[in-house]
Amino acid sequence: MEVVDPDGNPLPEVEWVMSAGVFPTAAAIDDDARGDLPCLSTTYTTFMGVARRANGPDGVRYTWFNPAVDDDGNPLQEPIGPLDDTAQIVLDPVKLKGLSVGRGGNLGGSLS
Protein backbone atom coordinates (compact mmCIF):
# COMPACT_ATOMS: atom_id res chain seq x y z
CA MET A 1 0.00 0.00 0.00
CA GLU A 2 1.18 3.55 -0.73
CA VAL A 3 0.32 6.75 1.15
CA VAL A 4 -0.25 9.80 -1.09
CA ASP A 5 -1.64 13.34 -0.95
CA PRO A 6 -4.70 14.40 -3.02
CA ASP A 7 -2.42 15.08 -6.02
CA GLY A 8 -0.94 11.56 -5.91
CA ASN A 9 2.41 12.62 -4.43
CA PRO A 10 3.92 10.19 -1.89
CA LEU A 11 3.82 11.23 1.78
CA PRO A 12 7.00 9.67 3.24
CA GLU A 13 6.70 11.79 6.42
CA VAL A 14 3.70 9.70 7.50
CA GLU A 15 4.91 7.04 9.94
CA TRP A 16 1.67 5.15 10.58
CA VAL A 17 -1.75 4.81 8.97
CA MET A 18 -4.73 3.37 10.74
CA SER A 19 -8.40 2.65 10.24
CA ALA A 20 -11.00 2.04 12.92
CA GLY A 21 -14.26 0.19 12.54
CA VAL A 22 -15.41 -3.36 13.01
CA PHE A 23 -11.88 -4.71 12.46
CA PRO A 24 -9.31 -1.95 13.14
CA THR A 25 -6.00 -2.13 11.29
CA ALA A 26 -2.74 -0.17 11.16
CA ALA A 27 0.55 -0.21 9.26
CA ALA A 28 4.00 1.31 9.68
CA ILE A 29 5.04 3.39 6.65
CA ASP A 30 8.59 3.31 5.28
CA ASP A 31 10.70 6.11 3.74
CA ASP A 32 9.16 5.40 0.32
CA ALA A 33 5.62 6.04 1.69
CA ARG A 34 4.78 2.33 1.49
CA GLY A 35 3.69 -0.27 4.01
CA ASP A 36 1.98 -3.63 4.46
CA LEU A 37 -1.58 -3.19 5.71
CA PRO A 38 -3.31 -6.28 7.10
CA CYS A 39 -6.94 -6.28 5.95
CA LEU A 40 -9.52 -8.53 7.55
CA SER A 41 -12.92 -9.59 6.21
CA THR A 42 -14.29 -6.08 5.81
CA THR A 43 -13.99 -3.07 3.53
CA TYR A 44 -11.97 -0.12 4.83
CA THR A 45 -13.03 3.35 3.70
CA THR A 46 -11.48 5.88 6.11
CA PHE A 47 -7.85 6.18 7.19
CA MET A 48 -5.87 8.55 9.39
CA GLY A 49 -2.12 9.08 9.39
CA VAL A 50 0.34 10.16 12.05
CA ALA A 51 3.69 11.86 11.44
CA ARG A 52 6.52 13.15 13.57
CA ARG A 53 6.39 16.92 14.04
CA ALA A 54 9.69 18.75 14.44
CA ASN A 55 9.78 21.61 16.95
CA GLY A 56 6.17 21.21 18.02
CA PRO A 57 4.92 23.62 20.70
CA ASP A 58 4.83 22.45 24.32
CA GLY A 59 6.35 19.07 23.52
CA VAL A 60 3.84 18.13 20.77
CA ARG A 61 5.86 15.66 18.72
CA TYR A 62 3.26 14.18 16.36
CA THR A 63 0.55 15.46 14.05
CA TRP A 64 -2.45 13.81 12.35
CA PHE A 65 -3.10 13.56 8.64
CA ASN A 66 -6.83 13.54 7.91
CA PRO A 67 -8.67 11.73 5.13
CA ALA A 68 -8.62 13.82 1.93
CA VAL A 69 -11.91 15.13 0.51
CA ASP A 70 -12.83 16.99 -2.67
CA ASP A 71 -14.36 20.49 -2.82
CA ASP A 72 -17.82 19.05 -2.11
CA GLY A 73 -16.64 17.14 0.96
CA ASN A 74 -16.69 13.73 -0.72
CA PRO A 75 -13.86 11.37 0.26
CA LEU A 76 -11.06 10.81 -2.26
CA GLN A 77 -10.26 7.43 -0.69
CA GLU A 78 -11.31 4.40 -2.72
CA PRO A 79 -12.54 1.53 -0.52
CA ILE A 80 -9.92 -1.12 0.28
CA GLY A 81 -11.12 -4.69 0.64
CA PRO A 82 -9.57 -7.90 1.98
CA LEU A 83 -8.82 -9.23 -1.53
CA ASP A 84 -7.03 -6.11 -2.82
CA ASP A 85 -3.33 -6.72 -3.55
CA THR A 86 -2.42 -3.04 -3.85
CA ALA A 87 -4.02 0.20 -2.71
CA GLN A 88 -3.45 3.90 -2.22
CA ILE A 89 -4.36 5.69 0.98
CA VAL A 90 -5.15 9.34 0.26
CA LEU A 91 -4.44 11.72 3.16
CA ASP A 92 -4.55 15.50 3.38
CA PRO A 93 -1.37 17.09 4.80
CA VAL A 94 -3.10 20.12 6.33
CA LYS A 95 -0.88 22.44 8.36
CA LEU A 96 -1.96 22.86 11.97
CA LYS A 97 -3.17 26.34 12.89
CA GLY A 98 -3.79 25.64 16.54
CA LEU A 99 -6.34 23.90 18.69
CA SER A 100 -9.99 24.82 18.51
CA VAL A 101 -12.71 23.47 20.72
CA GLY A 102 -16.39 23.36 19.99
CA ARG A 103 -18.27 20.10 20.09
CA GLY A 104 -15.17 18.04 20.82
CA GLY A 105 -11.60 19.02 20.03
CA ASN A 106 -10.26 19.59 16.54
CA LEU A 107 -6.69 20.23 15.41
CA GLY A 108 -6.28 22.80 12.68
CA GLY A 109 -8.99 25.15 13.91
CA SER A 110 -9.39 28.86 13.37
CA LEU A 111 -6.53 29.99 15.61
CA SER A 112 -3.74 31.56 13.55
pTM of the prediction? Answer: 0.72
At 36 the pLDDT is: 93
Of 26-40, 57-71, 73-87, 89-103, the poorest mean pLDDT is in: 89-103
Distance CA 99, CA 71 (A): 23
Q: Give the start-to-end residue ranges of the domains of the chain.
A: 2-107
- Return contacts of 80-87, CB within 8 angstroms, 24+ apart: 80/1, 80/37, 80/39, 80/43, 80/44, 80/45, 81/39, 81/42, 81/43, 81/44, 82/39, 82/40, 82/41, 82/42, 82/43, 84/39, 86/1, 86/2, 87/1, 87/2, 87/37
Nearest to 64 by CA among 46, 52, 74: 52
Q: Give the confidence band of 94 by pLDDT, cuts at 50, 70, 90.
A: low
- The predicted-structure confidence for 6-59, as pLDDT tens digits, reads as follows 999 999 999 999 998 788 999 999 999 999 988 888 899 999 998 877 766 666
